[in-house]
Amino acid sequence: MTPDVARIWRRLEVLASDHRSRRADEYPSNPDVLKTRVLSVNELTLDWSLQKLDDDVIGTLVELSVATNLQKQLQRQFAGEIVNPTEQRAALHTAMRGTPTSTGSIDDQVRAAWVDLSQFARNVLHGRINSYSGNAFTDVLHIGIGGSHLGQKLLCDALASTRLNLHFLSNNQSEHVINTLRALDPAKTLVIVASKSFSTPETQKNFENVKCWIAEHSGRRDALDSNLVLISSNTSSLADLPGKHFVVPNEVGGRFSIWSSMGLPVLLAIGPEQFEQLLQGANLIDQHVATAPSTSNTAMMLALLALWNTNFLMTTSHTVLTYVAALRWLPAYLQQLEMESLGKSVTVEGQSVPNHTTSVIWGGEETDGQHAWHQWLHQGTHAYSADFIATTERGYRDDSWILANSLAQHHVVFYGHTDKTAPEKHIEGGHGSTLILLDKINAKTIGMLLALYEHKVACLGYLWNINPFDQWGVERGKVMAEDINKALSDPKHTLSNPLLEARVRKILPREK
């Protein structure tokens, strides 16, 4: 920490000592508070009026954003400068949705890639590109995991509207693979294999399974050529493989990649026109984040609130509660976006971080959650924060009921409920939460929401002085898994770690 950052951090610690013990009813309930704690950007509204803070805390958090050069860091990212130091890369996901960088050649490449991708999608949708059988495609099987799966699954589930049926293979558990393929006709199925590295074990194993499936059903060696799309950054690995190939720039991280050619399954599910609305919504937030000052910048405020709750109010859990059925996959998507980006323990200089980084991210679809985990939220003993996501769109009779529940739960989480005659009914409250309202649920507003969370993640990375664009922690387990798999498959293979070797023998006894 610089001396200025350390001074501001100490000031926040002093302020937090008061707010940690302050009861919810000690915070102002005057409606005037909404004038300064509600922000609207186009069709998205952010309301943080039920957070455990006051104007002094907000002012000090904004000071922290200035001392950490948050706005300048974002400008460097938008410009296409290197912001991922461990891999010496820029972070160009915003460029994929048309937000200009400082390099015209990059912007030109993005436009050319979009023309190619959208034309391919139109040709498939209109039956101009067909299966090896001569039939038009009726189904799309998408093979990918993690950043090559979660955003695609979320958006296809939320917005699918074309004639194509989308199916997903992420992990390679046998029953999952068999059941997925059993429901498909290979003569009418377009297969997309998406992997940035093109070396992800689960994706490669599923690719092999699907190659065998198509060969067995078609009786033709060349059948796969017509039914295959490969998407990767590793162009050398694709060079000798059949099918149509699309490239993802190395500078676009997997969990930020739905705006790139990795979004092809979304493009096929919702059509080019809706996909352009998705990009435009994200671009709206890009322009807002790039230009708005801290106090009126939705992404910066989301990040500063998360930092306040995590580092000063000592929450270790953050729940995302979506009162929008179309966004049922959002919590799983945000788990990866936030925890893979911000689950770091070293600074960009390689030193141990002096404070906690991201909380555990979890959540689910409402109002189902009200009959599952809300008991824990209201009367459990752990400190947490929450995002409530809802829409003001009311096209059906029960939509008002869903909105009413989101507002009610948001209120009770903070203010609780006092019952002096029946202590089992007492709710302490005091948990800070943010309400995010979308005027409508469509491609544009969902694009805005996802871009908002992406920028929140980047802001937290810069505030904590960590790299939100790498993920080295996941690699070690993959390496060990390969070695353990050999031991499980080959009785003569011995693991170097004696305890691990003994455990594997215990699980799967075998003779040497």
CA 477, 483, 486, 490 torsion-angle sign: negative
Both tokens assigned to 291: 């230009």
Q: How many CB atoms lie under 10 A from the CB of residue 261?
A: 23
Both tokens assigned to 104: 């015209």
Rounded CA Rg of the chain: 25
Taking each helix axis from N to C end, the angle separating 55-67 and 3-19, rounded to the nearest 10 degrees, works out to: 160
Catalytic residue among 340, 344, 378, 431: 340
Any alpha helices (H) in 396-474, and if so which ranges? 399-415, 443-464
DSSP string, 122-185: HHHHTTSS--TTSPPP-EEEEE--GGGTHHHHHHHHHH--SSPEEEEE-S--HHHHHHHHHT--
Alpha-carbon distance values, 479 to 149, 208, 339, 486, 488 (Å): 22, 20, 21, 11, 15
**CA–centroid distance for 258 within its chain:** 10
Both tokens assigned to 250: 């190395």
Catalytic residue among 35, 126, 371, 506: 371
371 is catalytic: yes
**Residue 41: strand pairing partners:** 44
What residues have CB less than 8 Å from 44, skipping those under 6 apart? Answer: 285, 298, 436, 437, 438, 439, 445, 448, 449, 452
CA 116, 163, 154: angle at the middle one, nearest 5?
75
What residues have CB less than 8 Å from 269, skipping those under 6 apart? Answer: 140, 155, 156, 159, 160, 161, 162, 164, 166
Closest CA to 56 of 303, 310, 312: 312
CA–CA separation, 298 and 412 (whole Å): 24
Cβ proximity of 269 and 87 under 8 Å: no
340 is catalytic: yes
- For residue 232, give the 3-state DSSP assignment: strand
Phi-psi region of 190 (alpha: psi -120 to 50; beta: other; left: phi over 0): beta
Alpha-carbon distance values, 244 to 72, 232, 494 (Å): 40, 11, 42
Catalytic residue among 417, 425, 478, 486: 478
Residues taking part in catalysis:
340, 371, 478
